[in-house]
Amino acid sequence: MIRSFTRRNGRITAGQERALASLWPHYGVNLEGILDLNTLFGRSAEKHLEIGFGMGDTLVTMAQSHPEHDYLGIDVYRPGTGHLLLQIAEAQLTNVRVISGDVVDFLQDNLSSPCLDAVYLFFPDPWSKKRHHKRRLVQAHFMTLLAQRMTSGSSFHVATDWENYAEHMLDVLDASPDFIKSTIPKRPLTKFEQRGRRLGHGVWDFFYQRN
């Protein structure tokens, strides 16, 4: 299977390692079979998913601003996952759960019926070389799978700083029978975006609704 990431063994701090060991039991989700998200959070509330949270800052900001929603974050990056766990504990957030793994597997194996009310995909790896374009997450087959897990009227917010990927995203989303283009809401600035801004990169945001 073609993955949208390579296993980066980025430097992990002692604090992040400790967080992965001690805080995972509190906020981490161990994936076995189909998840019932209301049971996982212990309440019935809107369920929002951030795909590829990186260091997790945006997810924490969103969860703090909207205590009435429940937030799931998924990434494969261990240092970032440790960092996010530390932030959740520090802010004493009760509406965030963390998943470590590939979102494609998660959507296929651990969710069944439409249960996601909002999905965020901020600055997915652009895979800029043409021969790597097949690794990009936003593809017709991925959007079909994601749409199957999204409730009617739910939203999909995606952003990139890579123009060619932005064009590709538009092609895929406009061709999808499952999504309708809508007005872009405000969102927090992400870590990755801040670095791009310093380098003078443009940013393209798209916002769609599940029909």
Ligand X SMILES: C[S@@+](CC[C@H](N)C(=O)[O-])C[C@H]1O[C@@H](n2cnc3c(N)ncnc32)[C@H](O)[C@@H]1O
153 token code pair: 């009227």
Contact between 127 and ligand X per CB under 6 A: no
Q: What is d(CA 34, CA 14) in angstroms, rounded to the nearest whole number? A: 33
Report how far apart, in Å, the C-alpha atoms of 205 and of each of 60, 107, 114, 193 are: 20, 23, 24, 12
Q: Which stretch binds ligand X (CB under 6 A): 37-45, 121-129, 143-151, 199-207?
A: 121-129
Which one of 70, 105, 125, 178 is the catalytic residue? 125
Which residue, 131 or 153, has its beta carbon nearer to ligand X?
131
Q: What DSSP designation does 26 have?
A: H
Separation of alpha carbons 103 and 27, rounded Å: 18
Which residue among 79, 80, 81, 84 contacts ligand X (CB under 6 A)? 80
Question: 45-74: which residues touch ligand X (CB under 6 A)?
Answer: 51-54, 74
The tokens for 81 are 């996952």
Q: Is 79 in the site for ligand X (CB under 6 A)?
A: no
Determine, following the binding rule CB under 6 A, whether residue 4 of this chain makes contact with ligand X: yes
Stretch that binds ligand X, among 110-118, 166-174, 184-192, 197-205 (CB under 6 A): 184-192
Closest CA to 172 of 113, 116, 124, 108: 124
Which helix (H) or strand (E) segment holds residue 120: the answer is strand 116-122
* 162 counts as binding ligand X under rule CB under 6 A: no
At 154, list the tokens.
Answer: 């739910």
Respond yes or no: is residue 125 known to be catalytic: yes
Which residue numbers are catalytic? 125
Interface residues toward ligand X, by CB under 6 A: 4-5, 51-54, 74-77, 80, 102-104, 122-125, 137, 190-193
